Structure 1
């Protein structure tokens, strides 16, 4: 009877090992490139979900993301494409690895703006998050916006 708890702990630790995040940018980069296309699962504003699994959720700010990136693709050459809902708009981005800061940064290729960061701690084999901070969504306050993408197998 005394062996049940250690076995359950071992099973839990083995299971959680499969969901280990990346530690550094090279591993995060490889995980992002290993999947052709990532699909949006959730948008959070200041850590509160405002969009999840295709549905808008009420938020105290009243912000709605009627148009948002619904999929993103990374290429080994540092280019990136993101598709936006409600349009045929596919925007070009550039991503770059910054090992010293331990971050991958995503910028709009045309405007050179965008400030999205992908931290290795938020990159898993089947999902990742990218985040930015901006006053655009709830001026004059700075809001943290996080996009969570997942790998989908059809």
Structure 2
């Protein structure tokens, strides 16, 4: 009887821990924006191209027949006025984009609205990390390419 109670307690405790860990993701775009604005910025952790890891642990990973990136945003920062600054590796001048809250997500676009947009969904945002993604034919025309940039909070 004691063993059954102990096992039941451990199962319930494990489920509570799991639920608490899962609840760290943003509930909606407004909550996501608050998490993205908290802290000093974000550092690139991974680049995925068509769901294959292309960059990890500070190193490019060659994918046979895949797309290679010579340039990528190493650090980024969201500003409360709607500005988004992305610093490419080795550059001191930021690439400026605008971020906008929508009903279901956050989008990042160039100020002139030409070109594609990056999307951030609330499920991909915590206080410690976030993912932004886009789909485009610009990288491997005429094929559609899905790109995900995963960032970790800067220390």
What's the TM-score once normalised by structure 2's chain length? 0.87
Partner residue, 1:66: 70
Unpaired runs of at least 5, structure 2: none
Q: Distance in 2 between the 1:42 and 1:9 partners?
A: 34
Shift of 1:110: 4.9
The answer (yes or no) to whether the contact 2:42–2:75 under 8 Å persists in 1 is yes
What are the ranges of 5 or more consecutive residues in structure 1 without an aligned counterpart? none
Alignment-derived partner of residue 146 in structure 1: 148
Give the Å deviation of 1:148.
Answer: 0.3
**What is the total number of aligned residue pairs between the two structures?**
151
Structure with higher Rg: it is 2
1:36 to 2:62 alignment? no
Rounded to whole Å, the distance in 2 between the matches of 1:10 and 1:112 is 50
Separation in 2, partners of 1:138, 1:124: 31
Contact 2:40 2:154 in 1 (8 A): no
1:127-146 equivalences under 5 Å are 127-146=129-148
- C-alpha displacement at 1:108, in angstroms? 1.8
Post-superposition Cα deviations, 1:30-76, rounded to whole Å, max 9, x if no partner, equal 00011221000000011111001101112133322221001110011
> What SS class does the counterpart of residue 31 from structure 2 fall into?
helix
Tell me how large the CA RMSD over aligned residues is.
Answer: 1.9
Whole-Å Cα distance in 1 between the matches of residues 81 and 44 of structure 2? 23
Q: Distance in 1 between matches of 2:113 and 2:121?
A: 23
Shift of 1:8: 4.8
